Chain A
Amino acid sequence: MNEELNKVSESSPKIWALGGGKGGVGKSVVSTIMAFWLARMGNRTILVDVDLGGANLHTLLGIKSPARTLNDFITRKFESLEDICIETEEKNLRLISGASDVLSLANPHFSQKIKLITHLSRLDADYVVLDLGAGTSFNVLDFFLVAHKKIVVLTPEPTAIQNAYIFVRNAVYRKLSRLSSKNPSLQALIKIAMDPKNVLKIRTIKELIQMIEESDENDIVELLKKEIGGIRLSIITNMVRNDKDENAGRIVQIVAEKYLTISSSDMGSISYDKHVQSKVSDMVPIINLEQSSHAFGNVYEITNKLIRD
């Protein structure tokens, strides 16, 4: 699926996707603040709510009922994603709202997904920030995998760490599975390897590659190595309350490097900020928050790091 993005010229926007498996870790809040800072830095930015089954990003921006949503694009009411972009209070920041009113969009057809991905890369913007839904469904993973920056958000809780890792693991295997789609025997092998208790005793991506090498599939091995090597994660730990909490991202980083052989950068952490939580609870636009808020400051630093990375 990367082909769609590879065809795009250098002037196409940089796509950042924020995922992480677990709901409630603050992906939407972090996406919104990140998009806010990108816009405030002078970048034309579009925030896209890709939580196709439960879109609510518009509420964080103070938009009660978005006039146009992704559903209008998918159902061909509008031909271009540009047409469904909504201006926000912040200069340079626009929103593409998700389609919470159409349940069927939670699992779009493959062709709908391809269309959406292709059009995202044609948006007239410097940055497109995708706020992905919770979970590890193929749809979430596919949007994550096409992004230039693959950002994993988690909180310092065991469940969030575990789910973030499962999210990354599934993304890697999804990538492998798609790359081998024209090679049924290889795809079958990858499916076996996905089962952690597989009979072939393949425990890591490294072992899987070795097994493929032994089957004289040298051409595909090089491709797989290159593509897996190209998956680079940026990990953010949200709602941090003390120094130890900051290590949560490091855990996913270490396990992913050891078992999935993918590299990642721990981009830092965002302090727990009760002001952010109360704004979200009160459905007040979070970009109206005092910019002296700790969380805003942390996201500013992280956004700068991501731009430079």
Chain B
Amino acid sequence: MSDWIDKQHSVVNRIIDGSITIDSIEEFENLIKAFPNDARLHRVFADRLVKEKSLNAADEYKTSARLFIETGLPLQAVASKIFEWRIAKPSREDGLAFHEALRNCVPMDTQAQKFFTGLAYEEMVALLTKLVPYTCPANTMVKKFGDEERELCFVVSGALEKTFHHRPENEEILQKKSRTNLVEGDFFGEIYPLTDENLSPSDIESITHVELLKISKARLLSLCTEHSNLDLLIQTLYKSRRDSDEEEFSKTVRKTTRHQLPMQVNLMIFQSETGKSPLNLSGFTDDISLGGTCVVLGAKYQTGHLDNLTGKNVKMQMSLPIESMRLNILGNIVWSKEISVEGKKTSIIGIQFKEMSDIDRELLKGYCCGSEAEQNLIWSLWNSLMEK
């Protein structure tokens, strides 16, 4: 089951993007039981516990920080740790343990992630006390072209659009030059060298709900004066971005949403009561991996009794878009939730796969193959080269 949970993100994504609302602490706790290794879910749960003024929030932040480290996301771990330590003041041992975990983390391939794993203990402590969490909703102008650059911002979650401008000679009106997306693990703020005064060369606007960690240039300058290695790390951070910007397409290589092609599925859900005939439903996959899938049911199946489906065995039939054969998979329903699709109520169910033939497994493997980075590059190139 853990394999499935590691790969199955769409339910959690929907909770985080707000399209699924979790009504109660109990419901959250049930979700945590179903997805115990999902760092982001623990983080969202911790935020919810804070709103409830529950001291358990610190434990959830701690768990999410540990899981973020394990999944190679030190920036997100740092954000969780900042919130944890705001609730429960850490001992030196706590600090050292987190620092050791950070140092041992194998980060994902963005320089901002690598930056945090290179900090010495004193630098980490100094930086964490100065970093300020900031959130904003979608469609917020975070920075305007020509604004004074005063802070360094790390993108913890969400996505922003950066639009570069240029002003043609003898013309007053700015022209949009190029656009790029900033996503989790990116950073922005043209503040290096720290003694220079720069104006923003771009507009930066949030596309989704965004969480940032910010530090002002003045504070960073002060920290770098005390910790010379920190200055080197910041220098490396900015240099790496210049290098990667020189690659023709790297500035548009990522996109936050993993695109999965929906597939129509027919479900035969077996009733636990003897003598009851199976329930036949149909819907579309929302996300799929070798371990399981989420299926959005058609609106006509809204019965109000879908909680009862959890734990039931199911037989799935589906056709992959790139294959002519139908796949037959046996599984188990591990989760269900009511959602709204285009104004109509329906349900989404999470299915863990249990049995499939070797041929079906190979077909599914072929379909699911391709990392998020590969898919994102395809979609970024689609946006930049193909969009009408």
Contacts and interface: CB of A to CB of B under 8 A. Distances in A.
B378 A201 contact: no
A51 to B, nearest CB: 9
Contact of A244 (B6, B72, B388): B388
B362 interface: yes
Chain B's interface size range is 35 or more
Q: Which 4 A-B pairs have the closest CB atoms?
A: A196-B371, A136-B366, A247-B385, A135-B323
A173 B385 CA distance: 28
A244 B385 contact: yes
Contacts of A167: 322
Contacts of B323: 134-135, 137
A245 B388 CA distance: 9
Interface stretch (A1-9, A34-42, A111-119, A252-260): A252-260
A138 B381 contact: no
Contacts of A156: 386
Interface in B331-384: 359, 362-363, 365-367, 369-375, 377-379, 381-382
Contact of A21 (B72, B259, B322): B322
A244 to B, nearest CB: 5
Contacts of A254: 249, 377, 381
B17 interface: no
**Residue from B259, B372, B382, B387 with most neighbouring chain A CB atoms (10 Å):** B382
Contacts of B290: 195
Contact of A194 (B325, B369, B377, B388): B369
B322 A255 contact: no
A169 interface: yes
A173 B323 CA distance: 19
Interface string A147-167: 000000000101101110111
A251 B387 CA distance: 13
B322 A163 contact: yes
17 contacts: A135-B320, A137-B363, A158-B382, A159-B261, A161-B378, A161-B382, A162-B259, A162-B370, A163-B322, A165-B370, A167-B322, A247-B386, A251-B382, A255-B374, A255-B378, A258-B377, A259-B371
A163 B17 CA distance: 27
A166 B109 contact: no
A138 B362 CA distance: 9
Given A158-B382, A162-B378, 16 more contacts: A23-B322, A133-B324, A135-B320, A135-B363, A156-B386, A159-B261, A162-B261, A162-B370, A166-B322, A166-B370, A167-B322, A244-B386, A244-B388, A247-B386, A254-B249, A259-B374
A159 B261 CA distance: 7
Interface string A7-32: 00000000000000111000000000
B10 to A, nearest CB: 14
**Residue from B7, B370, B375, B388 with most neighbouring chain A CB atoms (10 Å):** B370
Contacts of A106: 325
B106 interface: yes
A251 B324 CA distance: 25
A53 B325 contact: yes
B321 interface: yes
B378 A169 contact: no
Interface in A238-274: 244-245, 247-248, 250-251, 254-255, 258-259
A54 interface: yes
B374 to A, nearest CB: 5
Is the contact region of chain A dominated by helix, strand, or loop, or is it mixed?
helix
A145 B340 CA distance: 46
Contact of A134 (B106, B324, B372): B324
Interface in A105-139: 106-107, 133-138
A22 B290 CA distance: 20
Contacts of A68: none
A201 B106 contact: yes
Contacts of A248: 386
Given A107-B359, A255-B377, A158 B324 contact: no
B373 A259 contact: yes
Contacts of B378: 161-162, 165, 251, 255
Interface in B11-32: none
Contacts of A247: 385-386
A53 B369 contact: no
A54 B324 contact: yes
B369 A170 contact: yes
B143 to A, nearest CB: 30
B369 A163 contact: no
Given A134-B323, A135-B324, A244-B386, A166 B363 contact: no
A196 B366 contact: no
B73 to A, nearest CB: 12
Contacts of A136: 322, 363, 366-367
Nearest to A260: B374
A44 interface: no
A241 to B, nearest CB: 10
A267 B324 CA distance: 28
A254 B366 CA distance: 20
**Residue from A54, A156, A162, A166 with most neighbouring chain B CB atoms (10 Å):** A162
Contacts of A201: 72, 106
A203 interface: yes
A23 B322 CA distance: 6
Contacts of B359: 107
A121 B97 CA distance: 63
B371 A203 contact: yes
A248 B369 CA distance: 20
Interface in A76-131: 106-107
A162 B106 CA distance: 29
